[in-house]
């Protein structure tokens, strides 16, 4: 490209579009699973697309990575073993490993090329890849969870793309049953759960599938995410017990020994208060 132009993702399910002004394409790789593209933007740093869908930008990825990690880790009483399914850009892994009590964090993403592109164009997200507590696997996350030892994991974070293509099997009862079996009784499942503005039906369906798998308590937390459709996203936590408490260690969140750009104890508490239209749609 010789002059800035506009890069758009048209998102048919929401009848909307997300766009960034870009100066050039930095790289493109067709992996066995998907096409990964990296663009240089004028205002948002580098931009990663997977199969034409916006995945992350240098400027705004912290919303997603912090909210996928910290609410669950501060909700659990003492998380020691964390498994991340997907998450190939390694940003969620970085946030998980900010918690000194975590003894091991396994990231299992089917596509190694996502991580290699992140290492090159988003190195700040990969700064914990060499942590001795980190294990990076490039394999089928569905099979990994199916083979995971029962009652061996404190938190499972499903950091996936939209429920199509390689990620389609990460939103159904069979996969959630594997997560349920691998989690300890007080374990927490976290799933990225799309836009609460435009995709509430998908969130309801996802929670139904979790319920069929044996999870009985849910909490959906919305947060801003400018590079995703509608600019408003969410994660959903699930616990095994009925009427489980989603109170979190607010004092620990306030006194954490690491810096965050978005997550705070107050942000966490605020996200628990769903807007009425979302609360009604999700049954409270």
What residues are paired with 135 via a beta bridge?
106
- Provide the domain count of the chain: 2
Contact 249, 201 (CB under 8 A): no
> Does the annotation mark 185 as catalytic?
no
17 and 72, same domain (yes or no) = no
Active-site residue (options: 60, 159, 186, 259): 159
- The list of the chain residues with pLDDT below 50 reads 164-167
108 and 234, same domain (yes or no) = yes
Three-state DSSP at 110 gives coil
Residues 6 or more apart whose CB falls under 8 angstroms from that of 198 comprise: 13, 14, 16, 229, 230
- Residue 22: give the domain boundaries: 5-57
pLDDT of residue 164: 45
pLDDT of residue 167: 45
Q: Which residue has the tokens 């997300």?
A: 18
89 and 146, same domain (yes or no) = yes
Output the six-digit token pair for 24.
């050039």
161 and 38, same domain (yes or no) = no
DSSP secondary structure string for all residues of 166-208: GGGGGGSHHHHHHHHHHEEEEEEEEEE---TTT-HHHHHHHHH
Residues 6 or more apart whose CB falls under 8 angstroms from that of 28 comprise: 35, 36, 37, 38
15 and 116, same domain (yes or no) = no
Q: What is the pLDDT of residues 103-117, one digit of tens each?
A: 999 999 999 999 999
86 and 118, same domain (yes or no) = yes
Radius of gyration of the chain (CA): 18
pLDDT of residue 11: 87
pTM recorded for the entire structure: 0.95
Contact 185, 214 (CB under 8 A): no
CA distances from 280 to 133, 194, 232 (A): 41, 17, 18
pLDDT of residue 162: 61
Q: Which of 30, 57, 84 is the last residue of a domain?
A: 57
What residues are paired with 181 via a beta bridge?
none
Using alpha carbons, select from 95, 45, 70, 69 the residue that is nearest to residue 227. 45
Which CATH number covers residue 42?
A: 2.30.140.10
Output the six-digit token pair for 250.
């607010």
Which CATH number covers residue 268?
A: 3.40.50.150
Chain centroid offset of residue 9 CA: 20
pLDDT of residue 168: 55
Q: What is the pLDDT of residues 258-274, one digit of tens each?
A: 999 999 999 999 999 99
Using alpha carbons, select from 180, 223, 207 the residue that is nearest to residue 71. 223
């Amino acid at each position: 490209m010789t002059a800035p132009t506009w890069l758009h993702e048209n998102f048919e399910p929401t009848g909307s579009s997300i766009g960034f002004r870009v100066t050039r394409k930095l790289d493109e790789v067709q992996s066995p699973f998907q096409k990964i593209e990296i663009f240089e933007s004028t205002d948002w740093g580098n931009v990663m697309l997977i199969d034409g869908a916006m995945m992350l930008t240098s400027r705004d990825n912290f919303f997603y990575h912090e909210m996928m990690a910290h609410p669950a880790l501060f909700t659990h009483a003492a998380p020691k073993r964390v498994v991340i399914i997907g998450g190939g850009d390694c940003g969620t892994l970085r946030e998980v490993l900010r918690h000194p009590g975590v003894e091991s964090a396994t990231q299992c993403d089917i596509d190694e090329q996502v991580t290699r592109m992140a290492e090159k164009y988003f190195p700040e997200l990969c700064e914990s890849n060499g942590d001795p507590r980190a294990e990076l696997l490039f394999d089928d996350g569905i099979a990994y969870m199916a083979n995971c030892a029962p009652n061996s994991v404190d938190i499972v974070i499903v950091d996936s793309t939209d429920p199509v293509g390689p990620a389609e099997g990460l939103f159904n009862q069979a996969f959630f049953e594997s997560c349920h079996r691998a989690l300890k009784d007080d374990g927490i499942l976290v799933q990225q759960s799309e836009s609460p503005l435009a995709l509430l039906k998908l969130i309801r369906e996802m929670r139904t599938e979790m319920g069929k798998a044996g999870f009985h308590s849910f909490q959906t937390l919305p947060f801003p995410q400018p590079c995703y459709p509608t600019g408003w996203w969410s994660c959903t936590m699930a616990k095994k017990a009925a009427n489980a408490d989603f109170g979190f260690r607010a004092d620990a969140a306030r006194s954490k020994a690491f810096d965050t750009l978005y997550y705070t104890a107050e942000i966490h508490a605020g996200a628990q208060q769903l807007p009425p239209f979302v609360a009604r749609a999700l049954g409270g």
